[in-house]
Amino acid sequence: MRLAVDIGGTFTDLTAVDETGSVFHAKRLTTNDDHSRGVAQCADEAGVDLANAERFLHGSTIAINTVIQRDGAATALITTSGFRDVYEIGRSNRPDAYNLLFERPVPLVPREWRFEVDERLDAKGCILKPLDEAAVRGVAARLADSDIEAVAIVLLHAYANPAHEIRVGEILAEACPGVHVSMSHAILREFREYERTSTTVLNAYVAPVVDRYLGQIEAMLSRSEFDRAFLVMQSNGGAMSVVQARDRPVATMESGPVAGVIGAGRLGQLIGHPNVIAFDMGGTTAKTSLVIDGDAPVVTGYHIGGPVTGHPMMLPVVDIVEIGAGGGSIAWIDPAGALKVGPQSAGASPGPVCYGLGGSEPTVTDANLVLGRLRPDGFLGGRMTLDGDAAESAIREKIADPLGLSVEAAARGILTVVDTRMSLAVREVSVAKGHDARDFALVASGGAGPLHAVSVARELSIPKVIVPSFPGTFSAHGMLLADLRHDYVQTMVSPLRDVDPATLNDGYRALERDGVETLATEGLGDDDAVLTRSMDLRYQGQEYTLPVPVPAGALDTPAVERIARTFHDVHRARYAQSAPGESIELVNLRLRAVGKIAGTMATGTAGRELRAREIRERTVVFGEDGPIACPLIERSSLGLGDLVEGPALIEEPVSTTVLHPGTVARVADCDALVIEVDTA
């Protein structure tokens, strides 16, 4: 059995697939006091024995939520003398130019905990000034007497020569044995001092938090007699060992959402839609990403907390747009009297008002319940009964009465606002990047995704919506489709024509050695590793680069010339122009090391017998025309080729698909619902 768990801000999801292709699912409220307890509850609910699992894959939003909520470890920074304020100064650009209230990102390390030590390397790694070890010991002594839990070490040009960083780390390990130490050369061997500093600080800031919760899960697995591979999803779409995740938790920032993107791409390919937009709406956030020919684009410039006031992270990340719009997003009225939804969330505790767990603020889930789109006695497969009267009272008190609206109109307003916000996010990954959303299908997942997918698709004239089998746990399913993956980079700035091919070969051999050794620690042999090389190139004088593929094998002068010609083609494709007469500059060598372990997508139909179709009805509000009588259909009663015309509700244990009037759903391969959307 292969088993995966996704821990979100509101729910913990589990998916397992055994050797017969049978699929097991579970969904429970996240237990924030001890995340392993929620995992154990999911395993019990699904009826799976953890001791029989061949592989346990895990992803979560815990690392990114730690940064966004600013409740990570007390962290210090050690850097080269004269550079302590690089982290706070950042870049001189102003990403939100017309915002009069714009504020720069607030550093995760306050100035009093940023220390300087004398040492200096040049850009090629040559030592200009030796490390002052006495100064380092002085800093270490001060840290040992403090409450600091983690230290980031970022010395100038350590990407070219890590010797001084390694020595600082050794001194800290002796003086502060209980403190986590993150060294920039072990996180990112790439230039750009501010981004490298921010990435290393992020790693240190979340490391103790991630280490604690991974330790809880490891202890739970040990009690369950699980003794196989424990893997953690990365933001780049691959998996890594739990040992690697503890050393480099910054690589797991988007581990949960990325798994859903992988699953969306694979599902689209299997049912004949290789170009899809992944749309995942959970309890706390909504995530979306573009997938072309089954592959999601990976970027190396990413901001945790948003591009305006977020913290830069210069590691490969699947290109995802994430907003605070989920089932638990709170509806509120701003001082100007406008209705807003999110980004604040009721989370798992206290949760939406209708959960009856102490929540008092109306949420998206409350609005869906009031409008008839959720069955009060069918939530989470009937394990939770929703309180419709409480939801209606909260919407009346907090939204409807202040705005002079009926409860029904206020609930429709809440859904309109959140649907518009999510459609703007989908627009950002498609239209804003030159892709016509009408050429894609929208793959809706997450517990709330199928509730809102048709509305979002209509907003952007997307003609098809695909709802996978068991959409509420689809991100966990996507983890089962991930390979082991590690990305490596080495800065090597030089005019391309001046680089000796032997130097390039030496650089790639070093990266390949690191990749193969890391995969070996995760149980893969040398022959199982797939190594893919690329270069970051630019025209001399440009600031930013474009990645260019590099062929395998030894490089010689003709090979380098072919790479240069490819760069001109790539530049022309991206910017509609190139400059063959201009000098090309090499900036970085890159390597992707992949260990193939992914399984195949389970359809959820193995051994399943269709349930008898029971015709029921419920009144649902779609627009201003008032309630409409809709058939209520159990998804387990639908077989391949079956059609359902809207308006209708298709229910399953942890999700409900809303078919608006004018839409038609068909059961396709892989037990997926393909909805034809009336976009006129």
592-632 pLDDT tens trace: 999 988 777 766 554 445 555 566 888 999 988 788 999 99
Minimum mean pLDDT range among 106-120, 147-161, 387-401, 612-626: 612-626
* pLDDT in the model for residue 89: 93
From CA 663, how far away is CA 509, in angstroms rounded?
A: 55
- Section 442-448 average pLDDT: 93
The answer to whether residues 305 and 311 touch, using CB atoms and an 8 Å cutoff, is yes
Distance of alpha carbon 451 from the chain centroid: 21
- Using one digit for the tens of pLDDT, what is the confidence trace for 203-218? 999 999 999 999 999 9
Tell which residue, 282, 283, 207, 208, has the closest CA to residue 249. 207
For residue 601 the two structure tokens come to: 């997508």
Which of 69 and 156 is assigned the larger pLDDT? 156
From CA 556, how far away is CA 316, in angstroms rounded?
A: 28
- Using one digit for the tens of pLDDT, what is the confidence trace for 219-272? 999 999 998 889 999 999 999 999 999 999 999 998 878 989 999 999 999 999
The answer to whether residues 232 and 63 touch, using CB atoms and an 8 Å cutoff, is no
For residue 376 the two structure tokens come to: 């009060």
Q: Which amino acid is at 560?
A: V
| Whole-Å CA distances, 149 to 152, 219, 298, 577 | 11, 22, 32, 50
* pLDDT in the model for residue 607: 45
For residue 288 the two structure tokens come to: 């979306």
- Hey, which of 31-40, 59-68, 142-151, 591-600 has the most confident mean pLDDT? 142-151
- Using one digit for the tens of pLDDT, what is the confidence trace for 494-525? 999 999 999 999 999 999 999 999 999 888 87
From CA 25, how far away is CA 7, in angstroms rounded?
A: 14
Q: What backbone torsions phi and psi does residue 100 show, to the nearest 5 degrees?
A: -70, -20
From CA 647, how far away is CA 628, in angstroms rounded?
A: 8
Count Cα neighbours of 354 within 13 Å in the Cβ-side half-sphere: 28
* pLDDT in the model for residue 411: 96
Tell which residue, 17, 49, 18, has the closest CA to residue 473. 17
Query: What residues pair up with 620 in beta bridges, in sequence order?
Result: 628
Tell which residue, 442, 469, 457, 438, has the closest CA to residue 673. 469
